[in-house]
């Protein structure tokens, strides 16, 4: 099989082949009902499985006959991803998808072993999340839009943008959690927000005073955009629920309006929220609860980020650090 045919197979992220579609549908239905996976997660799993199925077709194999798929086939799939310069984190996620899928097949007696578990995960590069410092964060949250001064519609949408940014930083929400909120989830009198997190785990998260002010201002403007019957807290200019790509453009625009020389993703505001709490002395368990992490080890990665901030501050300020400018 040539590299060209492999690349063509890997580009296929559409529907699964007809003979494997039933297995995929059953598996994804099980994920949604038994594991409580979100629609976005199921969509990502489907894309991964469809890509793997397309690759198998080039090797004259089929998902409809999973007992014929072995460890070497899965290793070949990862090798093809590697030649395509796929990120190691993406390769690891796709391998995790295959492990889960084959475990599902094993429990139902469709395979004798989980071939994906015999394949080692790619060694991950140690990357810490990009965070803003406090001044940069405040600049983003206080950003002004020049166009909003002369256009009422732009001004109202700018209120939405600021409310979204305040919520991501003030409460440390995932972007999917913020965009999944309905207007009724916000209860102004309690200063608490009901959030549906990963795995359909519900939690209550506190709101900062600035978040409350920003949300109140946006709710007054929301009525000018929301379509009849639309429940979403954050809506787009056409009245429907705000989408992830538009949210990413919103945060990038706020970074530019704040005068930053770089832009960050919506998730960076969540990272900044956790890092700033730890730097200020918050305990790890509390931060875990606020972020909605299932495992403490997931939260612990922020301790390394906060430690780096402290070391950099020490190097710049302490007279004996040896790093100060002469």
Tens digit of pLDDT for each residue in 14-46? Answer: 444 445 778 888 999 998 888 888 888 888 999
| DSSP state letter for 148 | G
Q: Which domains does the chain have, with CATH numbers?
A: 3-118 (1.10.150.130), 134-317 (1.10.443.10)
Q: Is 45 a catalytic residue?
A: no
pLDDT digits (tens, 9 = 90+) for 270-314: 888 888 888 888 877 887 878 877 777 666 666 655 555 555 555
Task: Give the residue with greater pLDDT, 3 vs 65.
Answer: 65
pLDDT digits (tens, 9 = 90+) for 251-274: 999 999 999 999 899 989 988 888
3-state secondary structure string, 285-306? HHHHHHHCCCCHHHHHHHHHHH
For residues 198-215, give the mean pLDDT. 85
Q: Is 186 a catalytic residue?
A: no
pLDDT greater than 60 at residue 324: no
Residue 244 has what pLDDT? 92
Selected catalytic residue, list 94, 160, 270, 276: 270
Q: Is 302 a catalytic residue?
A: yes
Q: Is 88 a catalytic residue?
A: no
Lookup result for tokens 């956790």: 274
Sign of the Cα pseudo-torsion (183, 189, 190, 191, in order)? positive
Q: Which residues contact 245 (CB under 8 A, 6 or more apart)?
A: none
Selected catalytic residue, list 71, 267, 301, 309: 267
Selected catalytic residue, list 94, 160, 276, 293: 293
Q: Is 285 a catalytic residue?
A: no
Lookup result for tokens 């999973």: 66
CA proximity to 5, closest of 59, 85, 82, 49:
59
pLDDT greater than 80 at residue 85: yes
Residue 241 has what pLDDT? 95
pLDDT greater than 90 at residue 201: no
For residues 169-177, give the mean pLDDT. 90
Selected catalytic residue, list 117, 174, 194, 241: 174
Q: Is 169 a catalytic residue?
A: no
CA proximity to 216, closest of 240, 188, 194:
188
Residue 312 has what pLDDT? 58
Burial of 103 (0-12, 13-18, 19+ CB in 10 A): middle
Residue 316 has what pLDDT? 61
Selected catalytic residue, list 88, 93, 198, 203: 198
Q: How far is CA 273 from the centre of its chain?
A: 15
């Amino acid at each position: 099989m040539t590299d060209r045919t492999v690349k063509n197979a890997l580009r296929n992220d559409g529907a699964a082949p007809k003979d494997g579609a039933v297995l995929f549908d059953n598996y994804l239905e099980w994920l949604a009902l038994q594991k409580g996976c979100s629609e976005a997660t199921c969509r990502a799993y489907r894309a991964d499985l469809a890509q793997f199925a397309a690759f198998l077709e080039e090797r004259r194999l089929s998902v409809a006959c999973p007992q014929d798929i072995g460890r070497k086939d899965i290793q070949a799939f990862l090798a093809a991803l590697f030649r395509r310069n796929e990120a190691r984190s993406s390769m690891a996620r796709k391998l995790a998808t295959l492990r889960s899928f084959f475990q599902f097949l094993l429990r139902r007696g469709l395979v004798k072993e989980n071939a994906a578990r015999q394949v080692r995960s790619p060694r991950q590069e140690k990357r810490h999340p990009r965070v803003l410092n406090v001044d940069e964060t405040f600049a983003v949250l206080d950003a002004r839009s020049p166009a909003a001064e002369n256009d009422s519609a732009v001004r109202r949408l700018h209120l939405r943008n600021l409310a979204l940014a305040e919520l991501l930083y003030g409460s440390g929400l995932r972007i999917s959690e913020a965009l999944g909120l309905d207007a009724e989830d916000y209860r102004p009198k309690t200063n608490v927000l009901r959030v549906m997190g990963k795995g359909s785990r519900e939690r209550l998260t506190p709101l900062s005073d600035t978040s409350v002010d920003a949300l109140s201002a946006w709710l007054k403007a929301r009525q000018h955009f929301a379509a009849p019957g639309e429940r979403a807290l954050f809506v787009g200019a056409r009245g429907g629920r705000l989408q992830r790509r538009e949210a990413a453009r919103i945060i990038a625009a706020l970074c530019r309006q704040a005068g930053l020389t770089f832009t960050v993703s919506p998730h960076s505001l969540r990272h900044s929220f956790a890092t700033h709490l730890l730097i200020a002395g918050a305990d790890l368990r509390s931060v875990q609860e606020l972020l909605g992490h299932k495992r403490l080890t997931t939260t612990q990665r922020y301790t390394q980020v906060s430690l780096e901030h402290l070391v950099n501050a020490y190097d710049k300020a302490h007279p004996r650090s040896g790093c100060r400018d002469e």
